[in-house]
Structure 1
Amino acid sequence: MGKRIMPRAALCAAIVAVVPALSACGGVKDPQPDVVAGKQLFVQKCGSCHTLSRAGTKGTTGPDLDQAFQQSIKEGFGTSAVRGVVYKQILYPNRLKNSQGIKMPAKLVSGQNAHDVAAYVASVSSLTGKDSGRLATAVKAAGGGTATEKAGVISIPADPGGQLAFADAKAIGQAGPVTIEMPNKSGTQHDIVIDGLGKGEVVANGTSSFKATLDAGQSYTYYCSVPGHREAGMEGKLTVK
């Protein structure tokens, strides 16, 4: 689960096809999953493409995983059956392309990690409210910092865990020429853009940057222009002193 995936209809078809077989054999039971690790991996590897309310992810290029299983859960398919479907899709995704012509790659996570992610998704899909206990603190919220200009550079990192957010939702700069950069240590593709000033290249495990001239007393909105990322909240405010 991670980079861009098939349409929701294809996933729903997979549920119909796979659940009966899983139900007949009791679903997936072994090995014992670690749902805390599953949540962390889901956010890092899958959240950029999928919405899952309990995980706090808002990706839009793949199916909404709260909605994808909602009807099946209402019809009585249990957590074990849903877990089995998710696990199969992680390892052997449907090869249909999404609306942007991109396929979900197989085995973004594998082995125990795939079991952990599948178990977490199955345990929270379609649930309202928030995770509790260890799950509540499994993923650090992004966007709480403030970036400041240093030696003519304003560095605003992307969330290193792959969330659709900048590490700093605010930035402060000085009037005049400046380099605006976005270090991205995650495998999720991002860029940084300020309309009318400049646009960095889209990068994963790299740095997106551009040069600009800031006007005194102005404020600017910076954002990621990768489809769905700004809509999911990947933007911030730059204030010029």
Structure 2
Amino acid sequence: MGKRIMPRAALCAAIVAAVPALSACGGVKDQQADVVAGKQLFVKKCGACHTLSHAGTKGTTGPNLDEAFQQSLQEGFGETAVRGVVYKQILYPNRLPNAQGIKMPSKLVSGEDAHDVAAYVASVTAKPGKDTGRLATAVQAAGGGTAVEKDGTLSIPADPNGQLAYEDAKATATAGPVTIEMPNKSGIGHDIVIDGLGKGEVVSDGTSSFKATLEAGKTYTYYCSVPGHRQAGMQGTLTVK
């Protein structure tokens, strides 16, 4: 979908073009969708790049999806039309990379999964409030725990569901040598950094780590240095006893 928000005229044209084409091939009008699964997939596969308020995602690499469709919805385009555009963009994204040289991969999700994601995005984009019912609990919020150092290793996992967060927004450790590691089971690249102490490698489906010596009584901030991730909330506080 690129870095910039699609101009209004181009977005309107895309909406008009997408709906009949998708309907003719068994598209959005006759495809039942699971929006709960769609939310889970969106957070895991798309949330690192896109902001969508209802999903709780704050990615900045791609366009803010609440803003992208706001004007078109105000002008009368319906949910089915927006769903068609999202579905088409998932399968056939813009070919040009954004200002940071990042290009959205095609078919991050496909088949029924693509329909589920498109249906969820279309159902919540640019709408006030929060998800309710099953959607409210579809994705557990990350960052609520506290990581504790054990035997010289402090493990602070990245959220496995693709949220731009560590599982633990707080951590404690004793003074002295320690290995700080970040297991990452998601397919999104993350690292863990403490300024002045060390920096792990950016990994996906792996572990980022570094060795450091902690000072008693100090408080450190750990964060992900991948562009946009810290700004979206991927950081925490380490307290040394």
- The size of the alignment, in residue pairs, is 237
Where 1:147 maps in the other structure, the secondary structure is strand
Shift of 1:15: 2.3
What is the root-mean-square deviation in Å for CA atoms of aligned residues?
1.5
Where 1:172 maps in the other structure, the secondary structure is strand
1:10–1:94 contact (8 Å) kept in structure 2:
no
For residues 1-150 of structure 1, what are the structure 2 equivalents within 5 Å?
A: 5-10=1-6, 15-22=11-18, 28-150=28-150
Give percent identity, aligned residues only: 75
Where 1:236 maps in the other structure, the secondary structure is strand
After superposition, what is the alpha-carbon deviation per residue over 1:27-73, rounded to whole angstroms, capped at 9, x for unaligned? 82121000000000000000000000000000001000000000000
Partners of 1:174 and 1:164 in 2: CA distance: 27
Distance 1:211 1:37, change over 3 A: same
Gaps of 5+ in 2: none
Partners of 1:121 and 1:150 in 2: CA distance: 41
2:235 maps to which residue?
A: 235
Shift of 1:18: 2.2
Which shifted more, 7-16 or 130-139?
7-16
Shift of 1:11: 7.1
Shift of 1:17: 2.5
1:177 maps to which residue?
A: 177
Partners of 2:7 and 2:123 in 1: CA distance: 17
What TM-score do you get using the length of structure 2 for normalisation?
Answer: 0.95
TM superposition outliers: structure 1 runs of 4+ over 6 Å: none
2:212 maps to which residue?
A: 212
Amino acid at match of 1:16: C
Shift of 1:22: 4.2
Shift of 1:223: 0.3
Amino acid at match of 1:17: A
Amino acid at match of 1:212: A
Amino acid at match of 1:6: G
Gaps of 5+ in 1: none
Amino acid at match of 1:234: M
What TM-score do you get using the length of structure 1 for normalisation?
Answer: 0.95
